[in-house]
Amino acid sequence: MEMLQLILDGDATPEQQDEFRAHIAECMPCFNSYQLDNALKELLKTRCNGKGAPQALVDKIKMQISQITPH
């Protein structure tokens, strides 16, 4: 989950990005989590006029996703 957030936030190193891509190519639950989190991030970005969502909302959504996402 931590690596997923680094990737989505653009904070992962090139090596971490390569490792993550290799992992999600083999791991469907992680691939699905990535797709869902990325779509959610983009939705929030567009709905919040490009300002991003309040951190409390982001944290709450991430917590709820982690509770329903297997892996």
Secondary structure of 4-26 as H, E, C letters: HHHHHHCCCCHHHHHHHHHHHHH
Asked whether residue 6 carries a pLDDT value surpassing 60, the answer given is yes
* Local structure of residue 48 (DSSP, 8 states): T
Tell me which residue of 63, 68, 70 sits closest to 5, measured CA to CA: 63
- In angstroms, rounded to a whole number, what is the distance separating the alpha carbons of residues 56 and 19? 29
Q: What's the pTM? A: 0.60
Reference 63, options 20, 19, 1, 8; nearest CA is 1
What percentage of the chain carries pLDDT values higher than 70? 89
- Domain residue ranges of the chain, discontinuous segments joined by +: 2-68
Q: Per-residue pLDDT averaged across 41-48, rounded?
A: 78
Question: What is the pLDDT, as a whole number, of residue 16?
Answer: 93
**Per-residue confidence band for 25, with pLDDT thresholds at 50, 70 and 90:** very high
- Does the pLDDT value for residue 22 go beyond 90? yes
